Structure 1
Amino acid sequence: MSTLPGPWGAVLYDARTTHVRTEPPRPAFRHRGYLWLVDLDRLPRLPWPLRPLAAFRPRDHGPARDTGEPTIRQDIDRYLAAHGVRLGRGRVLMLTQARSLGYVFNPLTVYWCHDEAGRPLCTVAEVHNTHGGRHRYLLPPDPDGRSETPKDFHVSPFFPVDGRYRMVLPEPGERLGLTVHLEREGSRVFTATVRGTGRPAGPAALLRAALTHPFATRAVSLHIRYRGIRLWLSGLPVHPCPPADEARPATNPTPTEEVPAP
């Protein structure tokens, strides 16, 4: 899409996230919420009564909280330039949860980066774990959004830091469809999907999303912890978070690194 639709130039997706563990098998986990697709050069300008419902702050998305980067776009440009990718005046689309009612937790934020002619240059997947760590992955472009990468970052306490991810992260349009598979020793042990239907972002769409999914940003974090307690009680072994992955800056330079499997 050349220009995102709606009065705010953004899209809101009513989304459902599903986690399926197959080795050892466990009941599927599902969570509903909503996600934003925004152009980093044209972040939504909300009227002041609605601003508590959505804010896009650099400290919520950058590699570290003290980098001093003035905007998310400038931080992404800096990150890509450090790894030899020059966007120039190309566009960057970001899929994420916005800070709402003073809180945000994004297990995964995805950036689709284009050159000045609109051609895809790369995708950046930014992972946050519940220990405060952040990790970025620079992924090569693919017409179908497909990529694979070794696992290199602690996300779930019920999987060690090993194995390989196969992912499908196509740039969304009217519909959103992301998939991440984790494979260990030749077997698929975990699959995460995000599916959704988009609508142009505006006051009515935001109010509808906020009323349908109240406290959605806190609910994500609470559901992850609740799910973790149930898995622990079911007898799954726990793999502690390595100290290096706690509050880890998202500075990964290679194009083949982890995409999250929460």
Structure 2
Amino acid sequence: MTAPATRADAPATATTVPALYLCDVAHVRTSPRRHTVRHRTYMWCTDPDRPPRLPYALRALARFDPRDHFGGTAPTIRAALDTYLAAQGIDLHGGPVTMLTHARVLGYVFNPLTLYWCHDPAGVLRCVVAEVHNTYGERHCYLLRTDSERGRPAGVTEEFDVDKEFYVSPFFPVDGRYRMRLPEPGDRLRLSIRLARDGSHPFTATVRGTRRPATTARLLRTAVRHPLSTLAVSAAIRLHGIRLFLRGLPVLPRPRHQPQEGVE
């Protein structure tokens, strides 16, 4: 497998990419029924400008397809990101981006969450983009601006508050606010997203991971341990949804999704 090391203009906190993160994912509901879902998977940390080039025989194990992100029509994922950011009035001027995502495996991918840490050419974090997919084939992006982008004193920003705007779970309406804690990946990956509604926190998602070098041997071992990884994630989400429905949770109607500029 061939891939560049950290770019010369990358931020000092950036890790060498590409890398694999072996992850524990947990979804904890406390209302209207307490329910916890846990599963193990793996994610890729890479540069959307230059995704990894796998040996021909392994390419079916990891494909990074622009059709799976944003509007799905750009020639590259980075071009799609830049188009979306331009619609929000942000120009990175070619600065580096760190992307955390699932790759296509044997032609299939389901990406509940892809994250992009977006820096200017000096390596200063300008914003984070959280690209969310639901199981209905829809996608939505949350633009999370850093303090410097919001006119506050510049500093390291790891926590963001944003209104919920997208239908994900059929058991929660599209209201409330998310508190997202999204430090840029290092040796460890520690992400959390908490939903706040009516003075309570009925849902929390966490991702905990350990960085591993994206070598051919590591990818083969990981693919064997987690075959069809994103299909397994999609199936687990649907299975637990069925269980919640059978426990009596009502399914809330899904509002018509309004596509964003630069997003399908």
By the TM > 0.5 criterion, same fold? yes
**Residue 34 of structure 2 aligns to a residue in which SS?**
strand
Q: Choose which of 241, 261, 264 in structure 2 pairs with 1:251.
A: 261
The answer as to whether partners of 1:135 and 1:251 remain within 8 angstroms in 2 is no
The answer as to whether partners of 1:20 and 1:192 remain within 8 angstroms in 2 is yes
The answer as to whether partners of 2:15 and 2:185 remain within 8 angstroms in 1 is no
Q: Supply the distance in 1 between the matched residues of 2:232 and 2:29 (Cα, whole angstroms).
A: 21
Equivalent AA in structure 1 for residue 251 of structure 2 = V
Q: Supply the distance in 2 between the matched residues of 1:167 and 1:20 (Cα, whole angstroms).
A: 15
Give the structure-2-normalised TM-score.
Answer: 0.88
> What per-residue deviation string (whole Å, max 9, x for no partner) do you get for residues 182-234 of structure 1?
11111111100000001111101111110111110100110000010000001
> Where do 1:178-189 residues align within 5 Å?
178-189=191-202
| Sequence identity (%) | 58
> Where do 1:25-174 residues align within 5 Å?
25-63=33-71, 65=72, 68-141=73-146, 143-174=156-187
Equivalent AA in structure 2 for residue 102 of structure 1 = G
Q: Supply the distance in 2 between the matched residues of 1:15 and 1:50 (Cα, whole angstroms).
A: 21
Q: Choose which of 223, 227, 240 in structure 2 pairs with 1:214.
A: 227
Which blocks of at least 5 consecutive residues in structure 1 are unaligned? 254-262
Give the structure-1-normalised TM-score.
Answer: 0.89
Cα-Cα RMSD: 1.6
Which blocks of at least 5 consecutive residues in structure 2 are unaligned? 1-5, 148-155
Equivalent AA in structure 2 for residue 90 of structure 1 = G
Deviation of 1:81 (Å): 1.3
Aligned residues: 244
The answer as to whether partners of 1:4 and 1:39 remain within 8 angstroms in 2 is no
**Residue 85 of structure 1 aligns to a residue in which SS?**
coil
The answer as to whether partners of 1:167 and 1:179 remain within 8 angstroms in 2 is yes
Q: Supply the distance in 1 between the matched residues of 2:260 and 2:103 (Cα, whole angstroms).
A: 19
Larger RCO, structures 1/2 (Cα 8 Å, 6+ apart): 1
Deviation of 1:42 (Å): 1.9
